[in-house]
Amino acid sequence: MKRWRDTNPYGGTVDYMAPTNCAFRSFERQEPIPPIPRKYPAGIVINSDGNTQTPYANGQVMAEHLNVPLISVADDGQHGHYALRRNACVDALVNKYLVSGVLPASRVTCAGTDIAEPVPPGAARGDSVAVGRPLSDVLGEIAGETKPF
């Protein structure tokens, strides 16, 4: 780690070289953690079958362990679905829960979207704001020089 830090001093890269808590664990089978008594309202787990940050199996186990609904997003490898990917199915189910407290069925599957980058709330799908613009354009607008998208 010291050698890596000295040759790569920027960007926190030494963190990637540090041993994780998994490096020293035993691989003996352990008893699962017992269910936690719920002292809060039920929630929802959302996970896509191709999620690279949170494997789908983990979402399934979490929903089962917490005894909450799982919204599966099929044929999608993205992470972060609600209000970010313009997925009408996911957004409608979560909005209904947030507004009225009505949970979806225990297992619901929504089709994935073709949006790779998150879309900020309030931006329409396809807006250049959603996919980003050069910083020079944004700074030009601030200075009073309006440039087309």
The tens-digit pLDDT sequence of the chain (149 residues) is 677 777 766 655 666 666 666 666 666 777 777 776 777 788 999 999 988 788 899 999 999 988 999 999 999 888 888 888 889 999 999 999 988 889 998 899 999 987 767 666 566 555 543 334 455 555 555 555 544 43
Question: How far is residue 24 CA from its own chain's centroid?
Answer: 28
Q: How far apart are CA 102 and CA 95, in angstroms?
A: 9
Instruction: Read off the pTM.
Output: 0.58
